[in-house]
Structure 1
């Protein structure tokens, strides 16, 4: 599949191919994150108190991010530590941009509402999710070696 991206776009540099692949993986993670949120709202909050539901949801999302990273790492290709950190930073920036554009621009939430998940209030593990997003490419590479 890695060759398919390079074959369809022969002028694509190795670096650009890496970030295109990383972007496609991030889109998959985004779909899982949205599904996780739906699962939390429709199932977990009906079974558990709010704090427990948010903690379980956060842990589940962290596991999903790491598993997707671990499984797709061969597609990204082997590389240096710098390569894995670059992908992690890229995913973190994409995630933050998505969150703030969706929340502020599209949904019209206030900055106070947007920053509330970063306080760990009610068991919200969003900061841990962001940390896992950043670290997963590096950690998955370490585990795979």
Structure 2
């Protein structure tokens, strides 16, 4: 059975997922045609990182956690959900392992690893911004 914190963590991650999908739509429909793929990937990755930290910041009073172990646990939980989603969605689209793993490189402006680092660190950063950690 999910604990209250785990359930809240999942709800917050779903909000992050919605923002990530919207960010991807913005990247594909506006940024890439306007500024090209490498610049669009960098800008989109930075925007998504900021959005994730912003969601963590706004949700922290509701989540009610503190302490490095809980902060790390939430961040790692979000990371695990994100990676499982990415690989599941990619396989569903018929992508191969090499295609999926290419996102984890810095090729052609892709900064997905930075977004993943922001995902893990977002709870800690949010706590620091709120002076809770």
Q: Does 1:130 find its partner at 2:130?
A: no
Give the Å deviation of 1:107: 1.1
Judge conservation of contact 2:66–2:127 (CA < 8 Å) in 1: no
- Between structure 1 and structure 2, the one with the greater Rg is 1
Give the Å deviation of 1:85: 0.6
Give the Å deviation of 1:108: 1.5
The within-5 A match list for 1:44-55 is: 44-55=31-42
Give the Å deviation of 1:50: 1.1
Q: Does 1:82 find its partner at 2:69?
A: yes
Distance 1:49 1:38 in 2: 15
1:144 maps to: 130
TM-score normalized by the length of structure 2: 0.95
Q: Does 1:113 find its partner at 2:99?
A: yes
1:62 maps to: 49
Deviation track 1:96-126 (CA, whole Å, cap 9, x = no partner) reads 000111111x112100000011111110110
SS in 1 for 2:25: helix
Give the Å deviation of 1:144: 0.6
- From 72, 80, 83, the equivalent of 1:96 is 83
Q: Which has the higher contact order (CA 8 A, sep 6+)?
A: 2
Aligned length: 131
RMSD between aligned residues: 1.2
